[in-house]
Structure 1
Amino acid sequence: MSAIKLAIVGVGKIVHDQHLPAIAANPDFALLASASRNNTIDGLPGFKTIEEMLAAAPEIEAVSLCMPPQYRYAAAHAALTAGKHVFLEKPPGATLSEVADLEALAASKGLTLFTSWHSRYAPAVQPAKAYLAAHAPTAMHVIWKEDVRHWHPNQDWIWQAGGLGVFDPGINALSIVTEILPSQVFLTSASLEFPENRDAPIAAELHFQDAGALRVLAEFDWRQTGKQSWDIIVDTADGQVKLSDGGARLWIAGEEQPLDKEAEYPSLYRRFAALVKAGRSDVDVAPLRHVADAFMLGRRKVVEAFHD
């Protein structure tokens, strides 16, 4: 099979930091063009809209959509309607209904739709999942706290309705939680802190349980300075499991485990290529469903205004 002719829509920091190196290193893809309101990729034709791009370059076979989630549905619908396979950056959409509609459209056209969750490909995730499959978890504590001014400076979209606020990084933690737990958990209560001048939360506390005795506490906060915290701690009868640095490091019963080198985005593109070749889709909305439940069930608390 020849290289898949790919285009990127929404050219921002994550594209330059992660997507472009992963694509360049993968012989299954040939990057042809980009579409973005304000940015281009050096050496490639650049267009303002996906519609302009698809009209000018009909040979494109697949697109990676990396714009904010509020704008992703229209672009994905346009791509699928034009017969293109679609890679969705996380989160896959602004609502669950959008993603369900795209899944149905992709299926009707025999196209691949891939809801990518890059944190699931962190090196600690699969070893932790295997351990927890053999050693039942009894409790879990998720601590995902970082400095929004460092990671998302001057990004107004992330504070708008649909931008998810602190759930933009928090959903990465939830993607790991839903991957490594052997049982399904559901939200029982939540507290969301909204700056008085913003439409999205800056902090959240979530409580989950499964059908048995497992309880999960997740704490998300965008106000942490200094050392950043991306940790998941799981208690079992046979010792504690700790994933740290977003899943880059793993301890089991107090001993750090040897892990493969981090390769989240190369793994995502290998997965996307395999799905396209097999004529299959991979649509998982479990992390987004938990976020939707938090907005539905969570108690709202107004806190001091946030200014960049």
Structure 2
Amino acid sequence: MTSRPIATPRPIALVGIGKIARDQHVPAIAASSDWSLAATVSRSGAVEGVEAFDDFDAFLAARPEIDTVSLCLPPQPRFDYAKKALLARRHVMLEKPPGQTLSEVHELIDLAARMGVTLYATWHSRMAAGVAAAKAHLAERAVRSARIDWKEDVRRWHPGQEWIFEAGGMGVFDPGINALSILTEILPSPVHLTGAVLEFPENRQTPIAATLDFTGGVRAAFDWRQEGPQTWEIAVETDRGPVTLRDGGARLEVDGTEETLPDHPGEYPALYARMAELVAKGESETDLAPMRHVADAMTLGRRETVAAFEF
């Protein structure tokens, strides 16, 4: 594959032009000095001024010089696209969660290594402004317990997105895995699931709410039915006082006092900057710890049926 000077924006293709692509990926690429959006692939979406394909195979054949693709598709079809891209020796960036199953992603990890290309399983919430500082504080303290409250309105954030409630869509774990990605990043020692209660609407295939219990006194509550103010909070009790991330990690309180955080580019710009670093170094990054917790919840979780849900 051809190499480019680090100062030259690298062409990238965006695959799947839905809500997350328009809200986050397109603006992040537009603001990046590392990347230039050179093509899109979508059955119905497009970005003004950018070459658009409606077939992924046609894109791969027509634009071999675009050696990086960012997959913003739902998790159900993502494996097939990622495998094709890797076989075509393209670097691949995966939206979270990186796939429907752990086995799918492990196969992609092995394939990327064989093809000599970068695979990046992204966790955007780890890039929130307060996460690194929270991790640093907790590294110097003994963790006694932690509480996650991740409660939001699915109609507000995922309007009409039926795939989320289909098998493989993960339901409330689609946002909940963001909290788990932060938890697995900031805790000095790993934890594992000991039990869970999963609430499934009577007409849906994935849960709308979940309560998870972990070793180390860690408990998480996820709910997609919260109206009004939204809650994305991780509160960790330590031997020296509390360390609390609020607003999905954008704010940090230590011992009850809010810290002033350094300027931050935003979660998705930080992801694209990290992808540029990985490609330049010829490395991959594929931590699956958050997804393992979800898989464990599906294995250990006690299922409860709740009222039907409709958008």
- TM-score (norm: length of structure 1): 0.97
Alignment of 1:59-138 (within 5 A): 59-138=65-144
| Residue 202 (str. 1) matches residue 205 (str. 2) | no
Counterpart of 1:39 in structure 2 is 45
Tell me how far 1:49 sits from its aligned partner: 2.2
Aligned counterpart for 1:18 among listed residues 18, 24, 46: 24
Distance in 2 of aligned mates of 1:219 and 1:49: 40
Alignment equivalent of 2:227, drawn from 225, 228, 231: 225
Separation in structure 1 between the aligned mates of residue 306 and residue 262 of structure 2, nearest angstrom: 41
1:281 to 274, 281, 284: 284
Unaligned runs of 5+ in 2: none
Identity, in percent, stands at: 57
Range that drifts further, 45-54 or 198-207: 45-54
User: Alpha-carbon deviation of 1:260?
Assistant: 2.6
Residues 20-44 of structure 1 show CA distances to partners (whole Å, capped at 9, x for unaligned) of 1211122221211000111111111
- Correspondence list, 1:101-250, <5 A: 101-209=107-215, 214-250=216-252
Greater Cα shift, 194-203 or 6-15? 6-15
The letter for the 2-side match of 1:77 is K
- Inter-partner Cα distance in structure 2 for 1:49 and 1:298: 39
Secondary structure of the residue aligned to 1:218 is strand
User: Deviations along 1:85-141, whole A, 9 cap, x unmatched?
Assistant: 000010000000011000000000110000000000101101110010001110000
**Which amino acid in 1 is paired with 2:309?**
F
The residue type equivalent to 2:17 in the other structure is V
Structure 1 residue 54, shift from structure 2 partner = 1.1
Q: How far is 1:45 from its partner?
A: 1.3
**Residue identity matched to 1:84:** R
The CA distance in 2 between the partners of 1:187 and 1:125, in whole Å, is 22
Rounded Cα–Cα distance in structure 2 between residues aligned with 1:13 and 1:111:
28
Aligned length: 304
Q: Per the alignment, in what secondary structure is the counterpart of residue 206 of structure 1?
A: strand
In 2, distance between residues paired with 1:130 and 1:59? 41
CA distance, structure 2, for counterparts of residue 287 and residue 150 of structure 1: 24
CA RMSD of aligned residues (A): 0.8
Partner of 1:255: 257
Question: Helix, strand or coil: the match of 2:92?
Answer: strand
Runs of 4+ in 1 over 6 A off after TM superposition: none
Q: Distance in 2 between matches of 1:233 and 1:39?
A: 39
